[in-house]
Chains A and B, each alone.
Chain A
């Protein structure tokens, strides 16, 4: 108890010394500097997000003669958004099904389950996935296995005897083609 009485009561507002003032000013200036540095850093890292919606373009898949009626063929396109050092990974395959002269279905190669490449088997009219055994019918709907939806389908149009699809990004469950 005696100890307690001898202790000086700390003042509610300690006197501001010149040193303390300068230190606080310095900390404040550094916080300002850090946030100014942070703007370009965050902007740089998230630059992929900015302008994300614009990553769609019409891509030519080739002459209509390449896709016989009643058949499903593999087609490859160069992704329109690439860097010069992308190499082979910007060559994206897709499955083109031609039902009638003007009616097509263009499917993404990626299984709707976890993105593995599906393969077409014309004899049984099925797409099969080698990873977890997802199987789709020729129209892309789920036949069996774990996929939560049918194959992702590209929008397409016919221009001057050429087939064009609208794409540019790998499809996923949050953002189909």
Chain B
């Protein structure tokens, strides 16, 4: 046994002498980090990297079958789902890998921001990290496009409409779309972006990002009161390394390894339990009975565009968004020194909480999208029995007009129906007879005018029904100058 060990050791040292692996190790994975940085808070970056590797591996596998042409993309995904061994599972892994990667890179960014890790001398690390974040979002979007189902087609159409709002929009659109309509050249362009251009960019930027971690060191775990002073920071950090330094690998990587394995387990479980994402219906523009919704990471943007006043939309797209992105890049130059610990930087904490709350609330709104008409409510959501019980024939005709004229697509009755307009269950307490007639005929306040599409008797019937809609112990609104309209 001893002889064998000697032989293998000398073979090993021969290879090491030629390849210089141990020197490479000492300069990279074996570099020293402050021991207090080997914390559970510092595992998010490495976990994101692990997700990226998984995406590359599963992505290469999927590209063996996928056909990036509009007439066959959908069929090739169905083929992956149902015919190729483990095809469905690889699609599921790739999809869940992307969701995990976006969640992790976002958490990583928040953690870096809250721990002040972007301050001197790690400004460039932050900037490169921001570009990596946007690259990841681009990967998510281009990947969703490659699914090339109905959602993908219309999501792409929405992005094209957004591009069309920029100055030189028409030219830009032709460049991105590769032609006059969204078609084969568009899909090929997004395929090329998704498998060559952006991943190449990510690998290049990741190299710079990791190189910066080696040259400027990992951020020390922040301590309240110990701020950054660019004059003395380098010396202090060297001191810290001398006093508490440990090798990153294997001594400081224990938590990274555990966390990464948990992430991979999570992705595997989600993929196995929930399966692949779609494809949901082929991308056929003539199937117009569709309700396009973006994947979850773009729900907030989707909601913001529905909720902001229309006059500021183009302004927000063309000016506010780019300025916000530039501000994100400039964070390390806006606050370059001073305290790092979140307890001494309440402004940053409040800002983070506010931004995240805004995004989450918008995303939740995006899920239910109450601003969209409920396109089938007029035929699928009937007027509830309590609203028709004991009503006169005229009022009942009014109830059926309410249904027939698609009022319910925007107006709910006691919660059932579209949410775009106000609920009508108590409309009679808000509007008098005359006001109701005016509102129906002329519209206004974001409601279309129905004057051209209702005969006078229909208006009388509809308003007669609407006048019955008030709660039991409340009376209907009346005009004080006129006698009450009899019911």
Q: Which residues of A contact B (CB under 8 A)?
A: 45-46, 48-49, 52, 55, 74, 76, 79, 81-83, 85-93, 109-110, 113-119, 121, 123-126, 128-133, 135, 137-138, 143-148, 168-170, 172-175
Picked from B173, B452, B453, the residue with its CB within 8 Å of the CB of A174 is B173
**Residue B170 is within 8 A (CB to CB) of chain A in the complex:** yes
Which residues of B are interface residues toward A (Cβ below 8 A)? 69-72, 153-154, 157-158, 160-166, 168-171, 173-175, 177-185, 282-286, 288-292, 302, 305-306, 310, 313-314, 371-373, 375, 378, 404-407, 409-410, 420, 443, 446-450, 452-453
| Number of residue pairs spanning A and B whose beta carbons lie under 8 angstroms apart | 204
Asked if A170 contacts B160 (CB within 8 A), the reply is yes
Could you tell me if A172 and B305 are in contact, using CB atoms closer than 8 angstroms?
no
Chain A residues, Cβ within 8 Å of B181: 79, 81, 89-90, 92, 168-170
Residues of A within 8 A of B450 (CB): 124
Apart from A49-B171, A131-B154: 12 A-B pairs, beta carbons within 8 A: A48-B178, A81-B180, A86-B183, A91-B284, A91-B285, A115-B160, A116-B292, A128-B409, A144-B448, A147-B310, A173-B165, A175-B164
Q: Inside 8 A of B70's CB, which chain A residues have their CB?
A: 85-89
Which listed residue, A89, A93, A146, touches B288 by the CB 8 Å rule?
A93
- Nearest residue in A to B73 (C-beta to C-beta)? A87
List residues of chain B with CB within 8 A of the CB of A172.
160-161, 163-165, 169-170, 173
Contact A130 B290 (CB under 8 A): yes
Tell me whether chain A's interface is mostly helix, strand or loop, or mixed: loop
**Cα(A113)–Cα(B160), bound, Å:** 11
A126's nearest neighbour on chain B, judged by CB, is: B448
Bound together, the chains give a CA A1 to CA B160 distance in angstroms of 66
| Distance in angstroms between the alpha carbons of A48 and B180 in the assembled complex | 8
B44 to chain A, nearest CB (A): 34
A132 touches B371 (CB 8 A): yes
Query: Contact at A110–B161, with CB atoms within 8 Å?
Result: yes
Question: Which residues of A have CB within 8 Å of B291?
Answer: 130-131
Q: Give the distance in Å from the alpha carbon of A137 to the alpha carbon of B447 in the complex.
A: 11
* A148 proximity list for chain B (CB < 8 A): 310, 313-314
B447 touches A146 (CB 8 A): no
Tell me the complex Cα distance, A147–B371, Å. 13
Complex: A109 Cα to B163 Cα, angstroms? 18
State how many angstroms separate the Cβ of A48 from the closest Cβ of chain B.
5
15 examples of A-B residue contacts, CB within 8 angstroms:
A48-B174, A85-B70, A89-B285, A92-B286, A93-B288, A109-B288, A119-B375, A128-B409, A132-B372, A133-B306, A143-B443, A144-B448, A147-B310, A172-B163, A175-B169
Do A144 and B443 have beta carbons less than 8 Å apart? yes
Q: Does A46 contact B164, Cβ atoms closer than 8 Å? A: no
Complex Cα gap A86–B375 (Å): 30
Greatest chain B CB density within 10 A among A132, A148, A175 is at A132
Q: How far is the CB of A92 from chain B (nearest CB, A)?
A: 6
Known A-B contacts A86-B183, A93-B285; A110 and B372 likewise in contact (beta carbons under 8 Å) = no
